Structure 1
Amino acid sequence: MHTGRGLWVVPPNRAVWIPAEVPHAHQANGPTEMRSIIFPAGTKALADPSVLVVGPLLREVIRTLSDDDDLSADHRHHLEQVALHQLRRAEALPLMLPTPSDPRLVALCDLLAADPADQRSLHELGRQVGAAERTLSRLFRAETGVTFPQWRAQLRLHHALSLLAAGHSVTRVAMDCGFRTPSAFIEAFRNHFGTSPGRYLTG
């Protein structure tokens, strides 16, 4: 999911909350079944877009609200209140990749998004986008809140989630995302998400 602030990857069995009046777009990777619940404008659950863990109760409420067209207005209202309560309590996952606005950073980020395995240094990339390494490093901190190496690591893990969801093997994902070995990818994935790639997608 894209917004003006950044990119969120939403793995299987997770939910994404989008506040009212936040322009956004989404793209599915691989076969996808998506269920949507639209709340009235002004509904307050979470202030910012978030990817959330979906517990058993929330999962069943979402299924009922999205599948059952025969719910009475009163029943639907009560289920929506349960859903909102569960959404407020749900664990938010660290799946947001900040999007910069400076044209030089945008150009650099586009290069890496097109090829996350690109191993060029910030100095080398800076020569292509017309900016000094020190300038780019400062801009990364100012506009994304993280350093360039941290941003690139997040980009690679985001790309990995998309490839895994599309059914690619861990070995293939590791190579396509710029990790030197599958074990290095699994270690980085576990350090960031707290579990292995396989367990994360089925959790």
Structure 2
Amino acid sequence: MTDPILQLQDILDRPHGPVLVAVEGRHDSELVSTPHQHVRGQLFGSLRGLLSVGVDDGVWIVPAIHAVWLPPNTPHSGRSHGPFHGWSVYVAEPACADLPQRPCTLRTSGLLREAVLRACNWEPVSATPLTGSRAHIAAVILDEIRSLPVEPFGLPFPRDPRLQRIARALIADPADDRDLECWAAWGAVSSRTLSRRFVTETGFNFTAWRQRARMLRSLEMLATGMPVTAIALDLGYSTPSAFIGLFRRTFGETPAAYRARL
């Protein structure tokens, strides 16, 4: 999939122009977008495949029924996991005033998806304002961004640099089973401080944060076709059933059901 940010750079960097620009694309292998930002707000989602999105304070996982909203000038990076078919909507900065002011994941609706796909067919991309039915469709998309429920698919990072180092190590190797005391010693921080600040800075205690990191990584692994048993063992679970049980409690379905839907 051609990076839409590069493809539409001329439009995206203009403070004026159409209130909304939408693009759709496919990619047969991994797609990597290096850290960047632009003056337009961006909503992007997946029709098939899985995305992970990096922002300053965390990582966002985007399954096929969710989308990520990024306000204007938000630094971010992205990566797909396996074949990917998705879309992006870029919203002019003035129209973002009453949209979410922080990055978030949204549960997409059928109305949003159909409106976005209709907007993706507006070719060629023009710098002129939208009128008529196109203006109405753009208004529907903006209203959906404004009103759709926020979903907790992010993994917030702690602000303390010592805790960030620990968090990034856990993301790099979710199967690392060192306990809190060992991680505190490795990060040159007391176990009491590590425990307390993880809660105050991320909203999760250390154990829950690590489990969440493992669950989100499992979504990436499922998207690549990796067997459930191999995923469970690679993530440090003693048995596949232990992993399957936690996955069901976290996402409301088994890994096999999730993969079939993905």
Corresponding residue for residue 45 of structure 1: 99
Corresponding residue for residue 85 of structure 1: 143
1:19 pairs with 2:76:
no
Give distance in 2, aligned partners of 1:40 and 1:132. Answer: 46
After superposition, the Cα gap between the structure-2 partners of 1:130 and 1:119, relative to the gap in structure 1 and judged at 3 Å, is: same
After superposition, the Cα gap between the structure-2 partners of 1:112 and 1:39, relative to the gap in structure 1 and judged at 3 Å, is: same
Alignment of 1:35-184 (within 5 A): 35-42=87-94, 43=96, 44-69=98-123, 73-74=130-131, 75-184=133-242
Of 62, 70, 84, which aligns to 1:10?
A: 62
How far has the Cα of 1:70 moved from its partner? Answer: 6.0
Whichever residue aligns with residue 61 of structure 1, its letter is: A
Name the stretch that deviates more: 68-77 or 167-176: 68-77
C-alpha RMSD of the superposition: 2.0
Name the stretch that deviates more: 66-75 or 12-21: 66-75
Give distance in 2, aligned partners of 1:77 and 1:5. Answer: 34
Deviation per CA, 1:108-154: give whole Å up to 9, x if none.
11221111011110111222222221121122122212210111111
- Tell me which protein shows more helix as a share of its residues: 1
Unaligned runs of 5+ in 1: none
- Aligned residues of 1:15 and 1:51 also touching (Cα < 8 A): yes
Give distance in 2, aligned partners of 1:123 and 1:67. Answer: 55
Structure 1 consecutive aligned stretches of length 4 or more whose deviation exceeds 6 Å: none
Whichever residue aligns with residue 258 of structure 2, its letter is: Y
Give distance in 1, aligned partners of 2:212 and 2:221. Answer: 14
Corresponding residue for residue 27 of structure 2: none
Give distance in 2, aligned partners of 1:128 and 1:157. Answer: 24
After superposition, the Cα gap between the structure-2 partners of 1:122 and 1:52, relative to the gap in structure 1 and judged at 3 Å, is: same
- Aligned residues of 1:12 and 1:165 also touching (Cα < 8 A): no
SS in 1 for 2:226: coil
Unaligned runs of 5+ in 2: 1-52
Give distance in 2, aligned partners of 1:106 and 1:70. Answer: 44
SS in 1 for 2:155: strand
- Aligned residues of 1:186 and 1:197 also touching (Cα < 8 A): yes
Whichever residue aligns with residue 69 of structure 1, its letter is: E
> TM-score normalized by structure 2?
0.71
How far has the Cα of 1:37 moved from its partner? Answer: 0.7
Q: How many residues align?
A: 203
Give distance in 2, aligned partners of 1:89 and 1:168. Answer: 36
Of 33, 45, 66, which aligns to 2:85?
A: 33
Give distance in 2, aligned partners of 1:67 and 1:174. Answer: 41
Give distance in 2, aligned partners of 1:92 and 1:180. Answer: 33
Give distance in 2, aligned partners of 1:56 and 1:48. Answer: 24
